[in-house]
Structure 1
């Protein structure tokens, strides 16, 4: 029974970690190498994340510099950035690629907040699904192992506490990201 609780908590932690990564990929006013985590480059026929092909630095608050280890793929990296949904235009000087992040408009900030809220809702749904699966598993064990109803109710209460804890964590992360996005 305790094993079910531990599995549920581990899954909920993973859902929150996934949400954190999603939030890191949402662009705010500052340049962050995490923006490029989901950009895939066609490296000799294999889709490869750009951060595995180059060093990505943020020397200034609104500038990213991508220095590929293999200069022959600089054009492929540039194409991948143009194809991505980042809306950035890379500047290539043959050695490095510079990405200048434009100042965000109020409209774009609101759009990014909507995207963050959508991802937060997806994380909450994932956590609730984990709760449902854990509760179903507990009910199954009650039937098979003849466990008392009071014990099952107590364990379901613990699952609910875990759910509330992780949903609150998602809400706190969302609030911090919204604040960061709306900061001028």
Structure 2
């Protein structure tokens, strides 16, 4: 029973850390990265569809990304979705076959804004971890047929797991901040 609660909490914490790292990847740095376009939804025949399902993405240069649609009729919609994407500020060009996306150089002020955004995403991930910990603690407290010593031991394990996952988020956050501030 206790091991089930702890295993479920650790699994959810692992997923929360992965989601945080994915979120950090969607914040642009000075380089073009296909992860930036991971959450862009394109209106494809009336339904929002992730860009990665409609086109291949590759970056031949540091600040350029080429989007090659699988269906050429979706070219205009893909271009509109990229232009409308928040936090990109990209120059988008369409030659009838591909969409060429050029990301401008980041100014110091824009880099600082992105650092604030990443810190906010990191804090949201830590809140998610604390919510998982609280639910697991409530589940442990609800166990009636288990001794107090075992529950106290399990709560210590839960705290250790929470701390290690918070540290993982902090490490990813530090790496992303360094990447953002690198000129």
Counterparts of 1:1-184 in structure 2 under 5 Å?
A: 1-85=2-86, 86-141=88-143, 143=144, 145=145, 147-184=146-183
Task: Report the Cα distance in structure 2 between the residues aligned to 1:78 and 1:166, rounded to whole angstroms.
Answer: 38
Q: CA deviation at 1:84?
A: 1.2
Give per-residue Cα distances to partners, 1:101-159, cap 9 Å, x unaligned: 11100000000000000000000000011111111000001x2x2x2111111000000
Task: Report the Cα distance in structure 1 between the residues aligned to 2:74 and 2:130, rounded to whole angstroms.
Answer: 43
Task: Report the Cα distance in structure 2 between the residues aligned to 1:157 and 1:84, rounded to whole angstroms.
Answer: 44
Structure 1 runs, 4 residues or longer, greater than 4 Å off: none
Q: How many pairs align?
A: 181
Q: CA deviation at 1:69?
A: 1.0
CA contact (8 A) 1:82 1:88 kept: yes
CA contact (8 A) 1:25 1:34 kept: yes
Q: CA deviation at 1:91?
A: 0.5
TM-score by length of 2: 0.97
Q: RMSD of the TM alignment (CA)?
A: 0.7
CA contact (8 A) 1:81 1:89 kept: no
Give per-residue Cα distances to partners, 1:148-181, cap 9 Å, x unaligned: 1111110000000000000000000000000000
Q: CA deviation at 1:89?
A: 2.7
SS of 1:29's equivalent in the other structure is: coil
Task: Report the Cα distance in structure 2 between the residues aligned to 1:60 and 1:107, rounded to whole angstroms.
Answer: 24
TM-score by length of 1: 0.97
Structure 2 gap ranges (5+)? none
Task: Report the Cα distance in structure 1 between the residues aligned to 2:150 and 2:71, rounded to whole angstroms.
Answer: 60
Task: Report the Cα distance in structure 1 between the residues aligned to 2:47 and 2:131, rounded to whole angstroms.
Answer: 34
